Structure 1
């Protein structure tokens, strides 16, 4: 199960005791606070705490007092200007602390984003649960023939059944041995910090992850992208739902300029101008490599 009974009880207790505050709050984020959004088969994302809102971004940009005197429309326009011109500092004024439960191999991808504060569940001190990520059949895919780090067609028939069986059996066998090694029933028992090395990369871990909005949006731009690995992308999409409610002006600008936008090189812009003038431009006459040309065409077609 994504949440243990103890975790659910803690969440229920926290939500049952709202407290008055003088600090800026986001109504959209308050609705998410403490609640766990399920991800994959045993994972979740939940908001533990946050600071700031759309107004905090504008306040920092204007270096003003309180919530400022500008209209809401001016605030949204300013945020779009900041996003459009890559002014990152005002977005750093907002922060969020997330509690995430995720497979270890996803965590190892995630931790490459080194711009956050992280504290992970320790398998040196505690015993990991018997919880493993097993892909759904429609996400069990072959190696891509065109992308060395991507997936191709979905596995079918006996091959798919065999792979799923091996994943489940190997995970259970590894955990059986893990339990046997740390057991102190009739033996000394291997240290937990050593026994954990036998567990597979699809075992679940948990961490607290605190990050400012600027670096969070950078994470989402990469990990919510269609080319990102499915297992980390679904976590990014769950976080997108949270950010959309937390800072709606900033998220709309992010969708427009980052998720839905494209960055063109000087060479690509020159090609686009030539094409708008009616010139037929090919990869050979563009000055771009085959890869650059393919990406350029994907952006404008």
Structure 2
């Protein structure tokens, strides 16, 4: 996770000169402020700024009362109620701005979450670094036979070695050609054209600002076990930051989103029938074959 000398100097200077403030601060988040958390081989996530805390969520929910906190127990109970009943607006009172370094193909998945403000490193203006994501051997899998967008079994050591050599060779050759094309004493091609030759595993960077409600939506999808590994590890790192920032809200999120499932009306009815002792089968449940499999994956963990 190499930082540029300029980035490290900026971080050191910011952390060395704390500023007094009258606004609410979250001690857990203050410890993370500006510090890069390594992800993948060259990536990182770091908190640049944030606004609000658990109390801000409660204050917004109790807007007619002014100051939100009556007691710790009341605040946590209120936040759990809000999360349980899908009251999203109070969570929008908290925001966080992250500096993220990530491979381009991960960024293209990430940007699908359109409820954030993003400013990305410009390869039209600046020169991208010679840094590429190369997966570890334990993350090189075959195509899944049951999921068109997922991974299957690990490749054999021989095939894994071949893949790694291809990735490294192709990345190096592409960057060599990129440098040759933009060289001022050579071809001198415009950077906005030369960048098209770079592979999707090259690293980019951006500032990403999002409110807590939409961040929870991002984490619910991307921290899930079914998410692609390369974006999931970023989501898992962000989960750690959020848990220290808004501990009450994050615990509620774990209980009612990450660790919960959604049941259709047919699934709820099937569950009620099972509790009454009735025999419920794929044929008499009123669900499609796929829904039945998903339902049984929830109720039958044997």
2:212 corresponds to: 213
Distance in 1 of aligned mates of 2:209 and 2:135: 28
**TM-score of the pair, normalised by structure 2:** 0.98
Secondary structure at 1:272 match in 2:
helix
Shift of 1:69: 4.6
Is the 2:27–2:245 contact (alpha carbons within 8 Å) kept by the matching residues of 1? yes
Change (3 A) 1:27 1:66: farther
Is the 1:2–1:44 contact (alpha carbons within 8 Å) kept by the matching residues of 2? no
1:42 corresponds to: 42
The runs of 5 or more residues in structure 2 that have no matched partner are none
1:294 corresponds to: 293
Change (3 A) 1:69 1:102: closer
Could you report, residue by residue, the CA deviation over 1:79-137 in whole angstroms, capped at 9, with x for unpaired residues?
00000000000000000000000000000000000000000000000000000000000
Distance in 2 of aligned mates of 1:207 and 1:186: 30
Change (3 A) 1:291 1:2: farther
2:183 corresponds to: 183
Secondary structure at 1:285 match in 2:
coil
Shift of 1:186: 4.2
Could you report, residue by residue, the CA deviation over 1:215-246 in whole angstroms, capped at 9, with x for unpaired residues?
00000000000000000000000000000000
2:71 corresponds to: 71
Distance in 1 of aligned mates of 2:148 and 2:67: 49
Is the 2:59–2:69 contact (alpha carbons within 8 Å) kept by the matching residues of 1? no
Is the 2:224–2:258 contact (alpha carbons within 8 Å) kept by the matching residues of 1? yes
Is the 2:79–2:248 contact (alpha carbons within 8 Å) kept by the matching residues of 1? yes
Could you report, residue by residue, the CA deviation over 1:191-212 in whole angstroms, capped at 9, with x for unpaired residues?
0000000000000000000000
Shift of 1:298: 1.4
Is the 2:58–2:69 contact (alpha carbons within 8 Å) kept by the matching residues of 1? no
Is the 1:100–1:209 contact (alpha carbons within 8 Å) kept by the matching residues of 2? yes
**TM-score of the pair, normalised by structure 1:** 0.98
1:262 corresponds to: 261
Shift of 1:66: 5.7
What is the 5 A alignment of 1:224-243? Answer: 224-243=223-242
Change (3 A) 1:33 1:67: farther
Distance in 2 of aligned mates of 1:40 and 1:68: 40
2:170 corresponds to: 170
Is the 2:180–2:186 contact (alpha carbons within 8 Å) kept by the matching residues of 1? no
**Runs of 4 or more consecutive aligned structure 1 residues displaced over 2 Å after TM superposition:** 64-69
The runs of 5 or more residues in structure 1 that have no matched partner are none
What is the 5 A alignment of 1:65-144? Answer: 67-144=67-144
Secondary structure at 1:23 match in 2:
coil
Shift of 1:68: 3.0
Is the 1:183–1:190 contact (alpha carbons within 8 Å) kept by the matching residues of 2? yes
2:57 corresponds to: 57
Distance in 2 of aligned mates of 1:183 and 1:165: 27
Q: Cα RMSD (Å) of the superposition?
A: 1.0
What is the 5 A alignment of 1:268-283? Answer: 268-283=267-282
